[in-house]
Structure 1
Amino acid sequence: MRYNAADQARVLLDWYDVHARDMPWRVPPKDRKAGVTPDPYHIWMSEVMLQQTTVAAVKDYFRKFIRRWPTVSDLAGAEDADVMAAWAGLGYYARARNLLKCARVVADDLNGVFPDTYDALLKLPGIGPYTAAAVASIAFDRRAVVLDGNVERVMARLHRVEEPLPASKETLRGLADGLTPDDRCGDYAQAVMDLGATICTPRSPACGICPWMEGCAGRQAGDAADFPRKTPKKPKPVRQGVAFVAIRADGAVLMERRPDKGLLGGMLGWPGSEWREEVLQGTPPMTGDWVEQGDVRHTFTHFYLELAVFVARDVSGKPTVGEFLPKEQFSPSDLPTVMRKVWDVAAKG
């Protein structure tokens, strides 16, 4: 069935006007029509947090950050360690480092004002094509092609694209571009993402209530749920390592801050070995009565991790790495998830 792109956009926007999800960073469509504009700081913050992370996981973090740092200038003036601690548990910690870099450029070089075009946004630290398009569209109502996983899925089903991802990404981008209207660009971008998140879901899409059912090639063929095609992923390797938790009699714990670059960069963690596919013993960071307390398993994007947890409560001498954090300053919630898991195992002893 042939369809008119303008009509398709109108149908989707009519659906969005009724079914838009409630987000703490979002201006509802009725308010936007009344002239209320989104805060670019809020849109940028939410989009950075949402990279490879669910809306459900992001909402509370977003509220916490906005309460603590209400403006981009407030965030730019924050201590790195405070921001990294507040980000703990959200994962993909390079995003937090880039968040600070970008905030400082906007605050220091742009007088606290975000640029309003795709090309200008793309020049900011940590902002790639997707985030630039999302902020330009949602915050400034610029016409930009927003292509996340939800939009890719919708386009692949709508047009029944046989070529698998990731090879089909540019094809899907072109199809998304062809449907993007010249007006209500921000609402449209959010509408098509909402459609993928709530109706055109990865499993068991609700085709019977989809506003785009009439023009969907996947629905007409009866195999919408089979799209998008995906190239099979290689099995994840398993890496192993050791974590050492030293606890003094006064409750202080030995911690080290990981290098800024690399996995969990800039975050607090426990001294330990490197993480490799072969078994590593590791060298304790100080003299003590070290006891193997248990192990931790954690899933990263590209590998699985298994850590043996060693604990010493009777330690002496000076540590070779890290420094002791006083009990009153130690908060497990400030740790990345894998390090929090290590503490949970250690604390049981």
Structure 2
Amino acid sequence: MKKKWLAILSTAFLLAGCGANEENESANDPKKEELEKVTVVLDWTPNTNHTGLYVAADKGYFEEEGLDVEIIMPGEAGADQLVASGQSEFGIGYQESVTQARVQGVPLVSIAAIIQHNTSGFASPVEKNIKEPKDFEGKTYGGWGSPVEESVIASLMQQQDSDVSKVSFVNMGDSDFFTAVKRDIDFAWIYYGWTGVEAELRGEEINMVYLTDYSEKLDYYTPVLTTNEKMISDNPETVKAFVAAVSKGYQFTIDNPAEAAEILLAAAPDLDADLVKASQEWLSPKYQDDANRWGVQKQEVWENYASWMYENGLLEKELEAEKAFTNEFLPE
């Protein structure tokens, strides 16, 4: 989560230009010469949010669509910046960061929702007795210094007539959730599909205050698959091919979570195998959830969250939601 918000904050400094795509052919592999080389940059280190990409690579779905896809790490620049500037054709982002980028004139576009509903929330050890937003009063929150954090917490607490000024905010630094709650914080913002599942495996009971239980406007798409406007205008067939392969990858993961977990582990062997398998089992039904197909996005969801951000002073102007996302490249 910390890395995520650092990436979001960095979008304020992006330039709106998009670079030209470079085409490099491999002299050693005639088959590769026939494929179009593109990159997709992750938002963070490999995890089960990304499994569909690794499945698409492992199962040959990218090659079937005429693509030679390299999955890369974001580095200091962040995925949004690399995609917006054309240094990477595709990336993993978040509705909130795309929203901020669009308002600032940065040409990011979301082309698929990786997870249909927001699975994040505020987690705390059960002994902290934090069961609902009003229980945040008198407690210490560990975060990464984004203004969005206090705004979200305040908006939840206001629904129960409680006061965000009674919450202490500290920076967690590089500490993980489990270290921080034993040291100097009471609760933190997590994705249940990773950190929550890890808590289960550790046998550490936690309480969750999910954003979606208290506000429909906070049920936004996180993460999403992104590209830039230049790719869409100049190379729509490439975008279509990429999304088709990724869709097959996530559909396989939905249907075969155990095998998909093994594919992710083969690509990222440093990950905790038990965590990956358990996380994949928990997350696979959440990718599509109640949508009629994987990846589909609703304008209402984009408008709801953007209006919430604007009302809370997190956007300098309102979002043109219809330009921030598209479903046109999803397979029928």
Q: In which range does the TM-score fall when normalised by the shorter chain?
A: under 0.3
Which structure has the bigger radius of gyration?
1
